[in-house]
Chains A and B, each alone.
Chain A
Amino acid sequence: AQTVTQSQPEMSVQEAETVTLSCTYDTSESDYYLFWYKQPPSRQMILVIRQEAYKQQNATENRFSVNFQKAAKSFSLKISDSQLGDAAMYFCAYSLPSGTYKYIFGTGTRLKVLA
């Protein structure tokens, strides 16, 4: 069975600094997708970034980038130039390719941004 593990329940970062959130997963599949979602106090889960497992290049979206290590089954999120608005719960998620419906989530990491 696929599992997603986020070992950091809470992280803090100074405004304008860089922080890395960790995620590991377990799967026997070779083709899958990985996601980072952000859940602010408004509670709506918003996609931050996604990575296709067949792509070796790490995904980047503005200040957000990932370090995808397929062999190690690791998928960390780096937030550069942290802003107060980045404070939220961050969830790592995994899904198989289309047609299997399943998105599996980790327990989340609460990120605090200090002014």
Chain B
Amino acid sequence: ETGVTQTPRHLVMGMTNKKSLKCEQHLGHNAMYWYKQSAKKPLELMFVYSLEERVENNSVPSRFSPECPNSSHLFLHLHTLQPEDSALYLCASSSVGSNTEAFFGQGTRLTVV
């Protein structure tokens, strides 16, 4: 399997639930990203991991908790979300140091009810 794969594709959760989004890349990249995509807004960079170390955390509420156990996997743990957190969550990866673009997964459409 190649590319960036995200699961699940769709997720509906209540405000008291705990769920996790998963991202996997088989491109040999050393950086992974979580973006939030909401309608009519620019993509919002949430977290960046490089060589499994978090290097960017853009003032994201603590109800979002990232985890990068190795260079191929990235998780976003969700708990006590709000309806305004409903969005498309995109994972991406890139090879820092080789001047390439970011490669994206197909996203998880999250709905908080």
- CB within 8 Å of B: which residues of A? 4, 9, 33, 35, 37, 42-47, 50, 52, 91, 95, 97-99, 101-107
Across-interface contacts of A4 in B (CB, < 8 A): 42
Q: What distance in Å separates the Cβ of B38 from its nearest Cβ neighbour in chain A?
A: 10
Across-interface contacts of A98 in B (CB, < 8 A): 96-99
Contact A101 B96 (CB under 8 A): yes
Which residues of chain B (38-84) have a CB below 8 Å from chain A?
40-43, 45, 48, 50, 55-56
Q: What distance in Å separates the Cβ of A93 from its nearest Cβ neighbour in chain B?
A: 8
Contact A101 B101 (CB under 8 A): no
The 8 Å CB contact of A106, one of B33, B42, B97, is B42
Contact A33 B99 (CB under 8 A): yes
Across-interface contacts of B40 in A (CB, < 8 A): 9, 107
The CA of A95 and the CA of B97, in the complex, are separated in Å by 13
- Beyond contacts A4-B42, A98-B97: 4 other A-B pairs, Cβ-Cβ < 8 A, are A33-B101, A52-B99, A101-B56, A103-B33
Is residue B90 contacting chain A, with contact meaning CB distance below 8 A? yes
Question: Given A102-B45, A105-B43, A107-B40, do A45 and B104 touch, yes or no (CB 8 Å)?
Answer: yes
Question: Given A101-B56, A105-B43, A107-B42, do A43 and B106 touch, yes or no (CB 8 Å)?
Answer: yes
The 8 Å CB contact of B55, one of A44, A45, A101, A103, is A101
Is residue B88 contacting chain A, with contact meaning CB distance below 8 A? yes
Across-interface contacts of B97 in A (CB, < 8 A): 98-99
Residue of B nearest to A35 (CB): B101
Q: What distance in Å separates the Cβ of A25 from its nearest Cβ neighbour in chain B?
A: 12
Contact B41 A101 (CB under 8 A): no
Between A4, A43, A47, A97, the greatest number of chain B beta carbons within 10 A of the residue's beta carbon is seen for A43
Q: What distance in Å separates the Cβ of B29 from its nearest Cβ neighbour in chain A?
A: 12
Contact B99 A101 (CB under 8 A): no
Q: Return the 6 tightest CB-CB contacts between A and B, nearest first.
A: A45-B104, A105-B43, A44-B106, A43-B107, A101-B48, A47-B101
Is residue B31 contacting chain A, with contact meaning CB distance below 8 A? yes
The CA of A54 and the CA of B87, in the complex, are separated in Å by 36
